[in-house]
Chains A and B, each alone.
Chain A
Amino acid sequence: SQTIHQWPATLVQPVGSPLSLECTVEGTSNPNLYWYRQAAGRGLQLLFYSVGIGQISSEVPQNLSASRPQDRQFILSSKKLLLSDSGFYLCAWSVGLPGPEQFFGPGTRLTVL
């Protein structure tokens, strides 16, 4: 069966510091991968998605970037965090066309102080 992991589970970072969040998927090949941000416990905003290694699509302009160095690894990064980057970051995967049947990871709670 497929499983998705995210780490760290929680993170507290000062403004201006760098960020690296990691997501890995097991039990499937060539998944589509997604990064979402959820603010204030509600609403899911799609940040990035990837249909293959090195292929990244950005949905909204922001202070973040994403990379996919391996088939089942997706990384969310920032060079300098802003207060507004605080939130709950969720990674998801799907197979086939982007969209249907996405499965989410446990999330990372990021607090920027």
Chain B
Amino acid sequence: GENVEQHPSTLSVQEGDSAVIKCTYSDSASNYFPWYKQELGKGPQLIIDIRSNVGEKKDQRIAVTLNKTAKHFSLHITETQPEDSAVYFCAATGGKLVFGAGTILRVKS
């Protein structure tokens, strides 16, 4: 089955800097890669996703890149703000979603 590894487990950045979170997956049949943001005590919120026929997708300050050959994908957040502080999860699926372990992002003001 699919296995997703996510790095780093924690990330601290200064407000205004960029943040990058990376994930690798094992199943070459996976074709959908979402990213979720979870604030304390709340359910995860889908923030951006990418499908296997696309290499990059942007939505304002966030972007996701996918390298199918290397089987890894990344979340990029530019001009970070304190409200970006949260836990971020990547996931991959060709059928059932398999999640990474999460990254705690702290944006210091």
Question: Contact residues of A with B, CB < 8 Å?
Answer: 41-44, 46, 49, 90, 92, 97-107, 109
Say whether B20 faces chain A, with CB atoms less than 8 Å apart.
no
Q: Which B residues fall within an 8 A CB radius of A?
A: 32, 34, 36, 40-46, 49, 87, 89, 93-97, 99, 101-102
Q: How many A-B pairs fall under 8 Å by CB?
A: 50
B87 touches A102 (CB 8 A): no
Q: Known interface pairs A104-B45, A105-B43. Does A42 touch B102 (Cβ–Cβ under 8 Å)? A: yes
Contact of B44 among A46, A98, A104 (CB under 8 A): A104
Taken together as a complex, chains A and B put the C-alpha atoms of A9 and B49 apart, in Å, by: 28
- Determine the distance from Cα of A98 to Cα of B32 in the docked complex, in whole angstroms: 12
Please state if A42 and B43 are interface contacts (CB–CB under 8 Å): no
Q: How far is the CA of A62 from the CA of B62 in the complex (A)?
A: 38
User: Are B43 and A44 closer than 8 Å at their CB atoms?
Assistant: no
Q: Which residue of B lies closest to A105 (CB)?
A: B43
Q: Which residues of B contact A104 (CB under 8 A)?
A: 36, 43-45
Known contacts A99-B32, A105-B43, A107-B43; A43 and B97 CB within 8 A of each other: no
- In the bound complex, how far is the Cα of B46 from the Cα of A104, in angstroms? 8
Tell me how far the C-beta of B59 lies from the nearest C-beta in chain A, rounded to whole angstroms. Answer: 15
Partner of A42, one of B32, B93, B97, B101: B101
A32 and B64 alpha carbons, distance in the complex (Å): 26
